[in-house]
Structure 1
Amino acid sequence: MEASDHDDPAGVGRRDVGAAETTHANRHWWDSDADDYHAEHGGLLGVADLVWCPENLREADAHLLGDVSGQLVLEVGCGSAMCSRWLSQQGARPVAFDLSAGMLRHARLGAAETGVDVPLVQADAEHIPFRDATFDLAFTAFGAIQFVADSARLMREVARVVRPGGRWVFASTHPTRWSFPDDPGPQGLTATMPYWDRTPYVEFGADGVATYVEHHRTLGDRIREITAAGLRLVDLVEPEWPAGHTAEWGQWSPLRGAILPGTAIYVCERV
């Protein structure tokens, strides 16, 4: 879970949440949190860099997307689009979209700062507004996947807009982390809930309305979603915590990173 940078909500729990409520809550959350998020994490993320995860794995070193020169690339859940700006500097032709207008405002600020202007679209990842087989590849670094109610639909949508043979690479919280509290310290090393409990994590206001929602899928669920969408899983990367990396990011920390995987990166190809 990502409950790391949040102000104290009126309540926290787990209950069923549908697509409309999830979308409304998370759009509002990221709109209101965009400034604080970039103030806290902008130093790690950069304005033109593709950092896959809090373990600080960079695409410049990992090469998970392959040769991007000349490729038409879709970034799903782009945030401030720093990843797409980096890809543009590598010769790619990126297009980026996000649910949150607040995050896209930071994307425009990043474009002004770097002089690298990437086409931006506001859209829901369950309803990608592009034609079939438009893109050579698609990716996301912690965008959208766990913030939608129907991630299987998201996989089908990505598969629809990516050309056969194209890659879809996505990073998200490692499924095993669901069993552990969102605590970077020793308390975060003790499992407290079943890994197979898929009931969404919900933060809500005093009126009971959801203000933030995360959805959990097991590793098996993820693989079945991938294959059912017409994609083939070619690699599963579980980055180790690098020596000398002392930064904490919410639940990610050197203590936990030495023992538990925090991130899973799925490298897929369109069949």
Structure 2
Amino acid sequence: MKLSKDAATNRKFWDNFAEEYQDRHGAQLNRKDFVWGVWSLPESEINALGGVRGKQVLELGCGAAQLSIAIVEMGGHPTGLDNSEKQLEYAATLMEEGGYDFPLVHASADKTPFKKRQFDMVFCDHGAMTYARTAETLAEVYRVLKKGGRFVFNIQSPLHEVCYDSKAGKVRNKLCKSYFELDRFVEDDLVYYQYSYGQWVRFFREAGFHIMDLIELKPPKNAESSFEFAPQDWAQNFPCENIWVLQKSK
């Protein structure tokens, strides 16, 4: 499938960055329980997915497919999709080492090869909902979900983005950009997307989704992370990540 310009840019970035990413974060990510976000908060406590046993589950932006492996352990039937071939090579290695067997698909989340109404659930932890075109990806998720299917994704919060100092490469205790100008960003040969809460809601409504929940993540005080995403004290006072839980009603 032909890639959009943004998807091609991000594919090149992630193919080049995959080895460094897995070297830096693999020790935190390589586990068999399902955890969310940069602080590895357990799904068993958050319950955003609502149960996956026996369900056909698509992971967007699966990387090395650690969370898809966790879906297998929870009794689900995953398919992992990623825009980066190099990331999928890491996924194939982990699956072989662990004796797992499920489909891996090399494609951008905004244009997938799947049939209509193929999946009971779609989820994403950062990944595709950060780096794939938003409206197009939501339309694609809606297309491949069955009626009543759930789309659950974790993403950087808008508050984190407006407090992120791109020049210094860190989040600050002050606003660094206008909340009303959140949209498409280009940084270090990488394209990503972030919006105001109102714009997110409009995207969901236009795609046809019903909003079931918005879960703002707060790490425990002893949480550690290999991601230099936000200082502990910042994340204790402000949500740096949030999980949207959406449902296809028709």
| Fold shared, TM-score > 0.5 on shorter chain | yes
The alignment partner of 1:97 has SS state of strand
Partner of 1:245: 223
Q: Is the 8 A contact 1:80 1:107 kept in 2?
A: yes
The alignment partner of 1:139 has SS state of strand
From 207, 214, 233, the equivalent of 1:236 is: 214
1:154 Cα offset (Å): 0.8
Partner of 1:75: 59
Structure 1 unaligned spans of 5+: 1-18, 205-210
Q: Cα gap change, 1:247/1:84 in structure 2, threshold over 3 Å: closer, same or farther? A: closer
For 2:68 and 2:172, locate their aligned partners in 1 and report how far apart those are by CA, in whole Å: 33
Partner of 1:8: none
From 131, 140, 143, the equivalent of 1:160 is: 143
What does the per-residue CA deviation read over 1:126-179, in whole Å, with 9 as the maximum and x for residues that have no partner?
Answer: 11211111111110111211212x301211110111011111100110011121
What does the per-residue CA deviation read over 1:99-151, in whole Å, with 9 as the maximum and x for residues that have no partner?
Answer: 00011011011102211122100011111211111111110111211212x30
For 1:121 and 1:248, locate their aligned partners in 2 and report how far apart those are by CA, in whole Å: 27
- Residues 1:113 and 2:103 aligned together: no
Q: Is the 8 A contact 2:28 2:225 kept in 1?
A: no
What does the per-residue CA deviation read over 1:22-55, in whole Å, with 9 as the maximum and x for residues that have no partner?
Answer: 1122101111111111111112111434221113
Q: Is the 8 A contact 1:177 1:262 kept in 2?
A: yes
What does the per-residue CA deviation read over 1:172-231, in whole Å, with 9 as the maximum and x for residues that have no partner?
Answer: 10011121125687x621211101113532235xxxxxx211122111111111121111
Partner of 2:117: 133
- Residues 1:99 and 2:77 aligned together: no
The alignment partner of 1:237 has SS state of strand
1:68 Cα offset (Å): 1.1
1:245 Cα offset (Å): 1.2
The alignment partner of 1:189 has SS state of coil
Q: State the Cα RMSD in Å.
A: 1.8
For 1:143 and 1:67, locate their aligned partners in 2 and report how far apart those are by CA, in whole Å: 21
From 179, 194, 199, the equivalent of 1:195 is: 179
Q: Is the 8 A contact 1:80 1:108 kept in 2?
A: yes
Partner of 1:174: 157
For 1:93 and 1:140, locate their aligned partners in 2 and report how far apart those are by CA, in whole Å: 15
Aligned-partner residue type, residue 92 of structure 2? R
The alignment partner of 2:35 has SS state of coil
Report 1 or 2 for greater relative contact order, CA contacts < 8 Å, sequence distance ≥ 6: 1
Q: Cα gap change, 1:95/1:246 in structure 2, threshold over 3 Å: closer, same or farther? A: closer
Q: Is the 8 A contact 2:219 2:236 kept in 1?
A: yes
Q: Is the 8 A contact 1:55 1:239 kept in 2?
A: no
From 151, 171, 182, the equivalent of 2:134 is: 151
Aligned-partner residue type, residue 196 of structure 2? T
1:255 Cα offset (Å): 2.1
The percent identity for this pair of structures is 30
From 70, 76, 79, the equivalent of 1:86 is: 70
- TM-score scaled by length of structure 1: 0.85
From 219, 243, 248, the equivalent of 1:265 is: 243
For 1:112 and 1:233, locate their aligned partners in 2 and report how far apart those are by CA, in whole Å: 37
1:248 Cα offset (Å): 5.2
The alignment partner of 1:225 has SS state of helix
For 2:229 and 2:72, locate their aligned partners in 1 and report how far apart those are by CA, in whole Å: 31
Aligned-partner residue type, residue 26 of structure 2? G
1:63 Cα offset (Å): 2.2
Q: Cα gap change, 1:198/1:135 in structure 2, threshold over 3 Å: closer, same or farther? A: same
Q: Cα gap change, 1:252/1:49 in structure 2, threshold over 3 Å: closer, same or farther? A: farther
The alignment partner of 1:130 has SS state of coil
Segments ≥4 residues shifted beyond 4 Å: 182-185
Q: How many residues align structurally? A: 245
Aligned-partner residue type, residue 99 of structure 1? N
Show the 5 A alignment for 1:24-43: 24-43=8-27
